[in-house]
Amino acid sequence: MTDQEQFRQETRDWLEKNCPASMREPMSENEIVWGGRNAQFPNPDSKIWLERMSARGWTAPVWPTEYGGGGLSKDQNMILQSELKRINARPALFSFGLWMLGPALLEFASEEQKLKFLPQIVRGEIRWCQGYSEPGAGSDLAGLQTRAVPDGDDYVINGQKVWTSYADQADWIFCLVRTDTSVKHEGISFILFDMETEGVETRPIKLISGSSPFCETFFRDVRVPQSHLVGKLNAGWTIAKRLLQHERTSISNFGAVTGSEPVPLEFVARNYVGTNDDGKLADASLRERIVTHRMEDLGFQLTLKRVALEATQGSGPSAASSLFKSYGAKINQDRCELTVEAMGAQGLGWSGDSFSEDEIAATRQWLRSKGNSIEGGTSEINTNVVAKQVLGLRDHQ
């Protein structure tokens, strides 16, 4: 037996013993475990599952063991992921710490910071939020104005962030602040602080879908020890960009992560618009657009698969991966639009008994999906980046 075969066998045996049966069922969005000081567990098994996985470091399989990670090689992690998939195991933990902050800390933080923050992330003890966008700094993120001014051993932070995901539920924030006003990109620093610090205030933003996953976040004379600055002073933009790469990957994979397959569009359409005698959808125009969308979706899925395979061949990240974010957004938006259109008036209800739970959910998802091409960098900005970095086209002078 090779080392890999042995690792697969051991992993399979361990999962067989340790993954509770209920954790092998598809999950809905409100069953997600985000961890944190006020962690909510939809059932006791999800707590056990998180504890067992994080004790092995398998919530962060490739992070070094000294920081609480699993210490697995790339190959071992592929085996672990395929074994998790084999039994349809739910992710034990959803976390911006795991997806975004952790990889950046591994690359840029001091040893002391790594030892302090990474193990907490692995165990899901601290829930992180991201302080990036501001009212005047969206696509042009480097125009941010939140100020951090040195004062003794601290920085004093004043300003406002917006679109801070789950800020009202987060324990700590990783935040971009301006530490030099005379330059743009080179005057930004990356800093960490507790959301319970005096002077921090969050206000949820109500979206068109009715939900409030984002907040406005205000800082008034918030005192943060200077030791919480990550990397060098005024070198935060490099960290910010790296972190955005992780964010874009995690957004394009989000649907895949929850493991919940949406009902195929053609089933929805058949129910609501009916079929002709020959079995074709009665609305020929809708049928044409559904099949076009399905082909786009399938082509995208195949490309994700191809790029993942190429990555295992060690040829480096494929140029195609730069497109995942904007393609993923468009495909999800098209699916939502077509679903609502297929449902007709039943897809446009807001509340009440005249609409089924699925219908209301489809409406809310459609509205939610409009954010897909805005959050984490708009699709237009993503396209600019591809033009420049992948195709080698220069900036307009």
Active-site position among 134, 247, 341, 359: 247
- For residue 103, the minimal CB distance to another protein (Å) is 25
Token pair 């992710």: residue: 91
**CA angle at residue 328 from 327 to 333, to 5 degrees?**
100
Binding of another protein by 309 (CB under 8 A): yes
Binding of another protein by 392 (CB under 8 A): yes
- For residue 343, the minimal CB distance to another protein (Å) is 16
Measured from the CB atom, is 270 or 364 closer to another protein?
270
Measured from the CB atom, is 77 or 384 closer to another protein?
384
Binding of another protein by 360 (CB under 8 A): no
Query: How far, in Å, CA of 126 to CA of 101, rounded?
Result: 12
* Residue 386 dihedral angles phi and psi, to the nearest 5°: -65, -45
- For residue 230, the minimal CB distance to another protein (Å) is 32
Grouping H, G, I as helix, E, B as strand and the rest as coil, residue 204 is strand
Binding of another protein by 313 (CB under 8 A): yes
DSSP result, 29-46: GGG----STT---SSHHH
Binding of another protein by 272 (CB under 8 A): no
Query: Which of 5, 16, 75, 380: binder of another protein (CB under 8 A)?
Result: 380
Residues in 324-353 at the binding interface with another protein, rule: CB under 8 A:
327
Measured from the CB atom, is 31 or 310 closer to another protein?
310
Binding of another protein by 295 (CB under 8 A): yes
Query: Sign of dihedral through CA atoms 108, 112, 114, 116?
Result: negative
Query: How far, in Å, CA of 83 to CA of 21, rounded?
Result: 15
Grouping H, G, I as helix, E, B as strand and the rest as coil, residue 217 is strand
CB 180 within 8 A of CB 147: no
Catalytic (active site) residue 357: no
Measured from the CB atom, is 145 or 384 closer to another protein?
384
| Burial environment of residue 327 by CB neighbours within 10 A (0 to 12, 13 to 18, 19 or more) | buried
Q: Which helix (H) or strand (E) holds 318?
A: none
Range in contact with another protein (rule: CB under 8 A) among 114-122, 141-149, 345-353, 378-386: 378-386
The residue type of 127 is R
- For residue 185, the minimal CB distance to another protein (Å) is 21
Measured from the CB atom, is 31 or 296 closer to another protein?
296
Token pair 């939610």: residue: 368
Range in contact with another protein (rule: CB under 8 A) among 10-18, 122-130, 153-161, 282-290: 282-290
Query: Which of 1, 17, 182, 279: binder of another protein (CB under 8 A)?
Result: 279
Binding of another protein by 292 (CB under 8 A): yes
Binding of another protein by 86 (CB under 8 A): no
Query: Which of 290, 336, 338, 381: binder of another protein (CB under 8 A)?
Result: 290
Size of the site for another protein (CB under 8 A): 43
Query: How far, in Å, CA of 47 to CA of 39, rounded?
Result: 9
CB 21 within 8 A of CB 43: no
Measured from the CB atom, is 193 or 300 closer to another protein?
300
Measured from the CB atom, is 147 or 287 closer to another protein?
287
Strand pairing class (128-131; 172-178): parallel
Query: Which of 55, 183, 208, 291: binder of another protein (CB under 8 A)?
Result: 291
CB 57 within 8 A of CB 70: yes
CB 121 within 8 A of CB 101: yes
β strands within the chain, DSSP E: 128-131, 147-151, 154-165, 172-178, 188-194, 200-205, 214-225, 229-230
Residues assigned a catalytic role: 247
User: Footprint of another protein on this chain (CB under 8 A)?
Assistant: 266, 269-270, 275, 279-281, 287-288, 290-292, 294-296, 298-300, 302-303, 305-306, 309-310, 313, 319-320, 323, 327, 380, 383-384, 386-388, 390-397
